[in-house]
């Protein structure tokens, strides 16, 4: 299958994927008990709640879902029934904001933070994984595996709190709980990158161990290649293929924000809006963020499939 055919097929699949995601997420959100008007255990009078539901057309889930999907998909705009495309509706909890405005304000911050986090993750993970894979049982292997276990096991709020206490409060190298320039992004990106770096390190280590035992690498070393040269020229490409598969969903997850990391470092990203939307049953906000995340995931998985062919042209696009 050609690259153009694969891109066309994925483009045609995207509306179907988003429709399925919308149906599942909307059903789950509708079944969650509560009301967007409730705050800290206080419930509005029944007549106020009924007026709220009527004003947002929330009396019937089928009607509400159909109208929302009609506007969010752009069909209403194409048919001339709406004045703008891909309208994700008003936020039910933030009366002065639309979902499009909230995502437009928070998504660039989360994407920049996620991109920096993935750069850290790839650099740390590749370095640790290659060293561990080339020298199994060595001190470098033990350190790499120890860091991987720590990165996977420690929750984000612990890592973020430790980094903030050491580098912000004690050493005062970075600002405390502010978002102002590139220096403010380093610590949250590092905290966000550790679980991804740990997973990449383990994938690279196992891939390098497997490849270094393969026949073509042994043949290369028998012909005079050094162990390092055989690893770089013969083993590394195949060892990195599982990492490429992992990078698609990992990058999407990092770029759509982490509520814990954003909360610890006061990052004005999209992750905190998602959790607040779930807790407050802000159906439109949650749906908008989920659809945005799903679109980003499909696009990044397509990019990973294209990278597969760059790394190894023998792999077919299909």
**What CATH number corresponds to the domain at position 246?**
1.10.3720.10
Domain assignment present for residue 316? The answer is no
Amino acid 317: pLDDT: 46
Same domain as 35, residue 126: no
CA neighbours within 13 Å on the CB side: how many for 68?
25
Domain assignment present for residue 94? The answer is no
Amino acid 119: pLDDT: 92
Same domain as 131, residue 60: no
User: Nearest-CA neighbor of 69 among 59, 52, 81, 54?
Assistant: 81
Domain assignment present for residue 317? The answer is no
Domain assignment present for residue 85? The answer is no
Domain count for the chain, please give it.
2
pTM confidence score:
0.78
Same domain as 173, residue 285: yes
Same domain as 169, residue 31: no
Amino acid 5: pLDDT: 77
Domain assignment present for residue 183? The answer is yes
Torsion over CA: 45, 46, 50, 51 (sign)? negative
Same domain as 177, residue 136: yes
User: Nearest-CA neighbor of 156 among 261, 42, 11?
Assistant: 261
Domain assignment present for residue 35? The answer is yes
Which residues, given as ranges, of the chain have pLDDT below 50? Answer: 317-318
Domain assignment present for residue 96? The answer is no
Amino acid 46: pLDDT: 67
Domain assignment present for residue 93? The answer is no
Residue 124 lies in domain: 106-311
């Amino acid at each position: 299958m050609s690259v153009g055919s694969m891109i066309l097929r994925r483009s045609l699949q995207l509306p179907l994927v988003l429709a399925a995601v919308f149906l599942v997420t909307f059903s789950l959100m509708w079944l969650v008990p509560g009301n967007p008007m409730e705050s800290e255990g206080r419930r509005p009078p029944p007549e106020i709640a009924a007026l709220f539901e009527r004003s947002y057309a929330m009396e019937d889930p089928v009607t509400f879902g159909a109208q929302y999907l009609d506007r969010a998909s752009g069909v209403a705009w194409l048919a001339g029934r709406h004045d703008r495309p891909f309208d994700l509706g008003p936020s039910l909890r933030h009366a002065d904001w639309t979902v499009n405005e909230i995502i437009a304000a928070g998504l660039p911050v989360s994407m920049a933070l996620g991109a920096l986090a993935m750069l850290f993750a790839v650099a740390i993970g590749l370095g640790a994984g290659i060293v561990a894979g080339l020298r199994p049982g060595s001190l470098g292997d033990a350190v790499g595996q120890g860091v991987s276990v720590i990165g996977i096991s420690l929750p984000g709020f612990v890592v973020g709190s430790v980094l903030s206490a050491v580098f912000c409060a004690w050493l005062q190298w970075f600002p405390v709980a502010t978002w102002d320039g590139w220096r403010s992004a380093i610590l949250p990106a590092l905290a966000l990158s550790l679980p991804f770096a740990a997973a990449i390190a383990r994938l690279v280590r196992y891939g390098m161990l497997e490849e270094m035992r393969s026949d073509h690498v042994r043949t290369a070393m028998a012909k005079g290649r050094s162990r390092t040269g055989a690893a770089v020229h013969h083993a590394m490409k195949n060892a990195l293929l599982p990492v490429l598969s992992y990078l698609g969903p990992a990058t999407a997850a990092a770029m759509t924000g982490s509520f814990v990391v954003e909360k610890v470092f006061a990052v004005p990203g999209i992750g905190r809006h998602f959790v607040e939307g779930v807790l407050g049953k802000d159906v439109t906000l949650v749906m908008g963020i989920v659809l945005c995340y799903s679109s980003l995931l499909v696009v990044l998985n397509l990019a990973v499939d294209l990278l597969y062919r760059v790394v190894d042209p023998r792999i077919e696009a299909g």
